[in-house]
Structure 1
Amino acid sequence: MCIGIPMRVVEAGEFEAICERHGERHRVSLMLVGAQEPGTHLLTHLGSAIRVLGDEEASAIDNALTGLSEAVDGRPFEALFEDLISREPELPEHLR
């Protein structure tokens, strides 16, 4: 299984960016998404940006990853999935 990690661009060049998540900085290739402005959220995988994210989507993905880590460690995680707890699950449009 592949997991994309949301990161925020802090320094950007034409082909690479320095991105940050939870205080850690990483060099990320922009070859698949093009040049991006600082502050932009990206979904990254194996050192490459694979998609530009909106703020809400980046936060939801980050909360889900943090929630999984909390659950594995036996800590409370429900608050990180508030958007799912208050509604019935729905299939994405393409799977209906």
Structure 2
Amino acid sequence: MCLGFPGKIIKMDEYSAVVDIAGTKREVSTMMLPDEVVIGDWVMVHAGMALAKMDEEEAIKTLEALSDLADEMDRMETDEAR
């Protein structure tokens, strides 16, 4: 299974962009995007590649769901350690 993360484009050049994914900044390739993107757009990022442009509302919902999942996994790990 592959997991992609929504990132907001904060800087870009011809073939790459810097995206902010929940406060972490990563440089990603934009060569796989079929549509033109601009600073402020949201994209789905996987393995260093921006794969698709995303709606901001959907991107934020996805980040919240991923955060909730990570929190639950942390709780489960803590419970198992007891």
Q: Do these two structures clear the TM 0.5 threshold for a shared fold by scoring above it? A: yes
TM value normalised by structure 2: 0.83
Gaps of 5+ in 2: 77-82
Could you tell me the TM-score, scaled by structure 1's length?
A: 0.72
* Bigger strand share: 2
Partner AA of 2:45 in structure 1: T
Alignment of 1:1-96 (within 5 A): 1-33=1-33, 35-74=36-75
**Backbone CA RMSD of aligned residues:** 1.5
Which deviates more from structure 2 when the two are superposed, residues 29-38 or residues 45-54? Answer: 29-38
Name stretches of at least 5 consecutive residues in structure 1 with no aligned partner.
Answer: 76-96
* Consecutive aligned runs of 4 or more in structure 1 exceeding 2 Å deviation: none
Q: Give the share of equivalent positions with the same residue, in percent.
A: 28
Q: Which has the higher contact order (CA 8 A, sep 6+)?
A: 2
Length, aligned pairs only = 75
Q: What secondary structure, in the 3-state scheme, does the structure 2 residue paired with 1:14 have?
A: coil
